Amino acid sequence: MFALRNDLAGIDWAAVKADLRRDGFDNGRTPDELYRSFAASAHTSVAWIGDRVVGTARLLADGICNAYLVDVWTAVGYRRRGIASAMVTDLLGRVPGHHVALFTEHAEALYRGLGFEVEEVGMSMVVGRWLNR
């Protein structure tokens, strides 16, 4: 069984990056950039089995009305056990009253199952170059 934690203590970010890369979900952040992006988030939910991180999710949120869900990932080998659902549900419970947005390419069923609905238009841009490099 997995356990959820909301702190970042004890996370081996190099190991997380290696697992993300293995799973094809590494977006180029160094281990330190991974840490800093999670640390700068309003809320984080991390799934552990023993001393291993098997899932991550984080919310950018203003504490008033708007939040954005990112970095939802469950390690291959631990999927379809409810880990992502538990992390996202945990995060949603921390932002009552907020409108929570996300982009997804492959996980629509996950979010629909949690109550998300597709909105008409999503728009985004990268300011300059991704990760400034």
Ligand X SMILES: CC(C)(COP(=O)(O)OP(=O)(O)OC[C@H]1O[C@@H](n2cnc3c(N)ncnc32)[C@H](O)[C@@H]1OP(=O)(O)O)[C@@H](O)C(=O)NCCC(=O)NCCS
| Binding string, residues 73-112; x marks residues near ligand X by CB under 6 A | xx----xxxxxxx----------------x-x-xx-xx--
Nearer to ligand X, 64 or 123 (CB): 123
Nearer to ligand X, 64 or 74 (CB): 74
Contact partners, residue 82, CB within 8 Å, separation at least 6: none
State how far the Cα of 62 lies from the Cα of 114, in Å rounded to an integer: 21
In the complex, what is the shortest distance from the CB of residue 100 to ligand X, in angstroms, rounded to a whole number?
A: 12
Nearer to ligand X, 50 or 128 (CB): 50
| Residue list 21-80, contact with ligand X (CB under 6 A) | 25, 72-74, 79-80
Nearest to 41 by CA among 117, 94, 116, 106: 94
In the complex, what is the shortest distance from the CB of residue 105 to ligand X, in angstroms, rounded to a whole number?
A: 7
Say if residues 61 and 44 touch (Cβ distance below 8 Å). no
Q: Is the dihedral of CA 91, 94, 96, 102 positive or negative?
A: negative
User: Can you read off the two tokens belonging to residue 30?
Assistant: 């160094």
State how far the Cα of 11 lies from the Cα of 56, in Å rounded to an integer: 11
Nearer to ligand X, 35 or 78 (CB): 78
- Chain residues in the site for ligand X (CB under 6 A): 25, 72-74, 79-85, 102, 104, 106-107, 109-110, 113
